[in-house]
C-alpha cells in the first residue's frame, strides 16, 4: 500500500506547470528494488503511467509498471527462463541493454542482449544505423525478440533475432513550454525542483545554498558542449550517479580503462568512438585512466581543448563533455599544506597540459555521503524529459552574459576565461534557461566558476612552478569599478597562510599568546565602510590586541594625508577582525599588521602574495624590535609564508638565523609604518 504524500507548495506548482511530466521520486526507489535498470529507464515508464498527483492514478500506474517490468525486464538469473519463453512463443518483448557489433566474416551485425546472455542475435542493418550508440556502449530498449530454430550461419544455429527495437528515451522536446513554465518559479524554487528531480530533498538542513550549487555542477556537462569537469572526493557521495542513472545521453566508463579506438575512432573501420556518439563521457575511477597507445593522452588533450580530434588524415569534430571522477583519500587540509589535490590521477593523467584543460574542479570533499534522509519523497520532473530539455539547451550559449556587468581580472589567461565563461553559461542554462538572470545571481555564479577554475590553476602551480604563477583570480564590477578577488574555502582553513592573493584588508601576522608564551599565527581582516570614523573590533581579542588596534587606528587618522588616501578615515568606519587560527587565548605584538590591513582596506589594494607582517608600533609610529625572530620566521615559513615584512631594526639579528629559513623567505624591511603599508601592497 502506497503511503499518502502531503503535497507542499513546490509539488503543486510543479504539477500545475508541467502536467504529465512529473513523478514521485520515492516511487522510483521502490520500483528499482529488484530491477537493476537505470533511473531514466524506470522514469520513462513511470512518466507514462504515474505522472499525476492523483493517488488512484499513481497506484494503478505503478501496478502496471511493475507488471510490465515483471513480464519484460530480463533478470540475469532468469535469462534461461526468458529464452525458454521466447522459444515456446516464437517471439517475446523484453527490456534489456542492447549492444551491436559488425561481423566482417559474414558482413552483418550481431546484437548482444546483456542480461539475457545472448551475444549473437541477428539485427538488421537499418536498426543499427538508426541507433549508432548500439555500437559504442549500448542502449536500454524495449526489444521485440523472435526465435527461429531453422536459422543457421555457417552451420551454426543462431535462433535469436531482433525484429524491432524502441530505445528508452523521450522524442525531442520543444523548449517553448519549458521556458514559459520557468517564469512561474523563483530561482530558489527552481533550484530545489532540479534537486528533487535528481531524487534529493533540498529542504534537509545539510543542503546549504553552496552545496545545492555544487550538486548542480555535476549537471553542467549535460547542458554545455565540450565541458571538462573533475571531481575528487570521498566514496559514496554520488559522484557517478548522474552519469550512470540519469541520462540516456551519458556513458560511464567504469575503471577508467579505454582505448583510442573506443574513445575516438577505429582506424580500421572508420567507426566514430564514444566522444562522437555521447553527450557526456565520464570516467568513474580516474586513478585507472590509462591508454596503451602513447598518443592517447595527446589526442585527449587536443579534444579537450578544441572539441575535435585527428585520426588518420581527418579532423573530426565532436561535442562530448569529459568528466573525471575519483576518490581523494586523506585530509584535504594536510594535502593543501604538503602536496596538491590531484594525487588520485594516474601517472598519464598528471600531465600539466591536460590538467590545464579542465574547466572546473569540483571539491568533492564538501559533499556528504549519501544517507536515506537526503532522498526525497516529493515530486520532480521525469528525468527522461528534463534530460531531453538539457540536450536541447546544448545548442544555446550564455557565455557572454558575464560582459553585461563584469570584466575579468588580469591573472586570467585565455584558457581561464573560456573555462569561467562556460561554467557560468552552464549554470545559467540550468537555473535560468530563458537567460533572465539578475546581476546578483550572475555574480554568484561567476564567483563559483572562478573558484573552480582557480582550484585547477593552484594545483598546476604546485606541480609546475612559475609557469602557472598567475592564480589571483578577480573580477571587476563595471558600474562601481570594485575589484573582487576569489579565494577557495580549503585554502582558508587549517591554520595555513593562504597561497594566492587575498582581498584588500587581509593579512597575516605572528603574535605571542601571553597566557603561555607560545607564538601563534593570526589572520587579520579589515573592511572600510562609509561612516563617521568609528572603529569596531571583533574576534574575541585580548586587551593587548585591542590596544594595538586602537594605536594603529589613531596613527592612521593622524597620517592619512601622508598616505595619499582619497578616503578620509574620519568619513569611514573600520571593522577589524582577528581570526584566531591556532587557538590562542591572547595575543600581542601585532600593531603594524593592523595598521597595514586598515590602509589596504581604505585603498582597496590587496597585499602581495603569502605575506606575513611582523612588528609593534607606538602612537607616534615608533617601531619596536621584533623578539624571537628566528622562531617567528620558522613558524611563518612552516605555515606557508613566502614573504615577511620586518622592521629595519632587526637587520643585525640575521647572523643568528639559519640559512635554510632565509633561503625560503623573502625578507622585506621597512623603516616606519607607512613604508610598511606601501611595501606590503607592492607600491614601493
What residue segments make up the domains of the chain, in order of their start?
Answer: 1-73, 76-167, 175-374, 397-485, 495-680
Report whether 352 contacts 365 (CB < 8 A). Answer: no
pTM of the model: 0.71
11 vs 413: CA distance, rounded Å: 44
pLDDT digits (tens, 9 = 90+) for 348-383: 899 999 999 999 999 999 999 999 999 999 999 999
491 vs 459: CA distance, rounded Å: 12
Q: What is the per-residue DSSP string for 512-565?
A: E-TTT--EEEEEEEEEEEESSS-EEEES---HHHHHHHHHHHHHHHHHHHHHT-
Among 462, 479, 405, 469, CA closest to 438: 405
401 vs 387: CA distance, rounded Å: 24
For residue 3, name the pLDDT band (cuts at 50, 70, 90).
low
The residue-averaged pLDDT of 232-250 equals 93
Query: Alpha-carbon torsion 40, 45, 46, 52, what sign?
Result: positive
Alpha helices per DSSP H over 218-331: 220-223, 241, 260-263, 274-277, 296-306
| pLDDT reported for residue 655 | 81
Does the pLDDT at position 514 exceed 80? no
Does the pLDDT at position 465 exceed 60? no
Residue corresponding to grid cell 535560468: 432
Strands (E), 384-486: 406-408, 474-477, 483-485
30 vs 494: CA distance, rounded Å: 42
For residue 286, name the pLDDT band (cuts at 50, 70, 90).
confident
The residue-averaged pLDDT of 31-56 equals 86
The residue-averaged pLDDT of 468-495 equals 79
Least confident of 35-44, 119-128, 400-409: 35-44
Among 493, 484, 590, CA closest to 537: 590
Enumerate residues 6+ apart whose C-beta is below 8 A from 99: 111, 112, 114, 134, 135, 137, 138
Cα 120 off chain centre by: 42
For residue 494, name the pLDDT band (cuts at 50, 70, 90).
very low
Report whether 407 contacts 483 (CB < 8 A). Answer: no
Least confident of 26-30, 100-104, 160-164, 654-658: 654-658
Query: What's the Cα-to-Cα distance from 662 to each of 64, 339, 652, 667, rounded to whole Å?
Result: 76, 22, 14, 8
Give the residues across from 140 on adjacent strands. 97
Cell reading at 114: 546483456
| pLDDT reported for residue 495 | 45
Does the pLDDT at position 224 exceed 90? yes
The residue-averaged pLDDT of 623-644 equals 86
- Chosen CATH of 495-680 out of 1.10.10.60, 3.40.50.920, 3.40.30.10, 3.30.230.10: 3.30.230.10
Query: What's the Cα-to-Cα distance from 204 to each of 39, 195, 424, rounded to whole Å?
Result: 22, 11, 26
Among 249, 254, 245, CA closest to 42: 245
What does the mean pLDDT of the chain come to?
A: 89
Cell reading at 464: 609546475
- Chosen CATH of 175-374 out of 3.40.50.11270, 3.40.50.300, 3.20.20.70, 3.40.1190.20: 3.40.50.300
| pLDDT reported for residue 493 | 46
pLDDT digits (tens, 9 = 90+) for 108-156: 999 999 999 999 999 999 999 999 889 888 899 999 999 999 998 888 8
Residue corresponding to grid cell 593543501: 336
| pLDDT reported for residue 498 | 75
pLDDT digits (tens, 9 = 90+) for 300-343: 999 999 999 987 777 899 999 999 999 997 788 777 765 689 98
Residue predicted with more confidence, 516 or 105: 105
Does the pLDDT at position 68 exceed 50? yes
480 vs 656: CA distance, rounded Å: 49
pLDDT digits (tens, 9 = 90+) for 550-604: 999 999 988 888 887 777 888 889 999 888 776 565 666 789 999 999 999 999 9
For residue 469, name the pLDDT band (cuts at 50, 70, 90).
low
Amino acid at each position: 500500500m502506497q503511503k499518502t504524500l502531503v503535497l507542499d507548495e513546490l509539488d503543486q506548482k510543479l504539477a500545475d506547470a508541467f502536467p504529465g511530466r512529473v513523478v514521485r521520486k520515492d516511487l522510483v526507489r521502490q520500483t528499482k528494488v529488484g530491477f537493476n535498470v537505470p533511473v531514466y529507464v524506470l522514469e520513462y515508464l513511470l512518466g507514462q503511467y504515474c505522472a499525476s498527483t492523483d493517488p488512484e492514478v499513481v497506484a494503478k500506474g505503478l501496478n502496471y509498471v511493475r507488471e510490465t517490468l515483471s513480464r519484460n525486464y530480463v533478470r540475469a538469473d532468469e535469462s534461461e527462463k526468458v529464452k525458454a519463453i521466447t522459444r515456446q512463443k516464437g517471439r517475446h518483448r523484453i527490456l534489456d541493454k542492447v549492444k551491436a557489433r559488425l561481423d566482417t566474416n559474414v558482413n552483418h551485425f550481431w546484437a548482444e542482449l546483456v542480461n539475457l546472455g545472448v551475444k549473437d542475435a541477428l539485427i538488421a542493418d537499418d536498426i543499427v544505423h538508426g541507433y549508432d550508440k548500439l555500437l559504442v556502449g549500448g542502449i536500454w530498449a524495449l526489444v521485440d525478440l523472435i526465435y527461429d530454430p531453422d536459422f543457421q550461419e555457417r552451420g551454426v544455429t543462431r535462433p535469436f533475432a531482433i525484429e524491432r527495437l524502441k530505445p528508452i528515451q523521450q522524442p525531442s522536446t520543444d523548449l517553448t513550454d519549458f521556458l514559459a513554465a520557468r517564469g512561474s518559479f523563483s530561482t530558489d524554487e527552481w533550484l530545489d525542483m532540479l534537486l528533487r528531480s535528481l531524487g534529493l530533498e533540498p529542504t534537509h538542513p545539510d543542503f546549504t545554498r553552496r552545496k545545492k550549487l555544487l550538486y548542480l555542477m555535476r549537471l553542467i556537462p549535460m547542458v554545455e558542449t565540450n565541458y571538462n569537469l573533475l571531481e575528487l572526493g570521498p566514496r559514496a557521495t554520488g559522484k557517478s550517479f548522474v552519469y550512470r542513472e540519469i541520462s540516456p545521453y551519458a556513458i560511464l566508463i567504469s575503471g577508467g580503462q579505454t582505448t583510442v579506438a573506443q574513445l575516438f575512432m577505429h582506424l580500421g573501420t572508420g567507426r566514430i568512438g564514444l566522444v562522437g556518439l555521447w553527450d557526456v563521457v565520464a570516467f568513474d575511477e580516474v586513478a585507472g585512466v590509462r591508454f596503451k597507445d602513447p598518443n592517447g593522452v595527446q589526442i585527449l588533450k587536443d579534444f579537450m581543448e578544441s572539441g575535435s580530434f585527428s585520426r588518420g588524415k581527418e579532423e573530426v569534430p565532436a561535442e562530448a563533455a569529459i568528466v573525471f571522477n575519483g576518490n581523494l583519500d586523506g585530509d584535504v587540509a594536510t594535502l593543501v599544506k604538503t602536496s596538491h589535490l590531484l594525487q588520485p590521477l594516474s601517472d598519464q593523467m598528471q600531465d600539466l597540459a591536460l590538467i590545464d584543460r579542465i574547466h572546473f574542479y569540483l571539491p568533492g570533499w564538501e559533499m556528504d555521503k549519501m544517507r536515506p534522509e537526503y532522498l526525497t519523497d516529493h515530486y520532480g520532473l521525469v528525468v527522461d524529459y528534463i534530460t531531453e530539455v538539457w540536450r536541447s539547451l546544448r545548442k544555446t550559449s550564455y557565455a557572454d552574459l558575464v560582459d553585461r556587468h563584469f570584466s575579468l581580472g588580469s591573472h586570467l589567461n585565455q584558457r581561464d576565461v573560456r573555462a569561467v565563461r562556460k561554467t557560468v553559461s552552464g549554470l545559467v542554462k540550468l537555473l535560468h534557461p530563458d537567460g533572465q538572470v539578475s546581476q546578483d545571481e550572475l555574480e554568484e555564479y561567476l564567483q563559483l566558476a572562478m573558484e573552480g577554475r582557480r582550484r585547477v590553476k593552484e594545483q598546476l602551480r604546485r606541480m609546475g612552478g612559475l609557469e602557472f604563477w598567475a592564480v589571483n583570480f578577480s573580477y571587476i564590477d563595471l558600474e562601481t569599478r570594485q575589484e573582487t578577488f576569489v579565494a577557495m574555502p580549503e585554502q582558508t582553513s587549517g591554520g595555513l597562510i593562504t597561497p594566492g592573493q587575498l582581498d584588500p584588508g587581509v593579512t597575516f601576522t605572528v603574535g605571542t599568546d601571553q597566557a603561555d608564551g607560545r607564538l601563534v599565527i593570526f589572520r587579520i581582516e579589515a573592511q572600510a565602510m562609509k561612516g563617521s570614523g568609528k572603529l569596531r573590533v571583533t574576534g574575541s581579542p585580548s586587551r593587548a590586541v585591542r590596544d594595538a588596534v586602537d594605536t594603529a587606528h589613531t596613527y592612521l587618522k593622524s597620517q592619512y594625508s601622508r598616505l595619499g588616501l582619497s578616503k578620509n578615515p574620519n568619513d569611514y568606519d573600520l571593522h577589524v577582525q582577528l581570526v584566531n587560527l591556532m587557538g590562542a587565548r591572547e595575543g600581542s605584538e601585532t600593531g603594524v599588521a593592523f595598521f597595514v590591513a586598515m590602509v589596504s582596506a581604505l585603498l582597496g589594494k590587496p597585499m602581495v602574495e603569502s605575506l606575513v607582517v611582523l612588528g609593534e608600533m607606538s602612537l607616534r609610529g615608533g617601531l619596536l624590535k621584533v623578539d624571537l625572530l628566528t622562531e617567528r620566521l620558522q613558524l611563518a615559513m612552516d605555515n606557508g609564508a613566502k614573504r615577511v615584512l620586518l622592521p629595519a631594526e632587526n637587520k643585525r639579528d640575521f647572523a643568528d638565523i639559519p640559512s635554510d629559513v632565509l633561503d625560503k623567505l623573502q625578507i622585506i624591511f621597512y623603516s616606519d609604518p607607512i613604508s610598511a603599508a606601501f611595501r606590503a601592497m607592492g607600491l614601493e
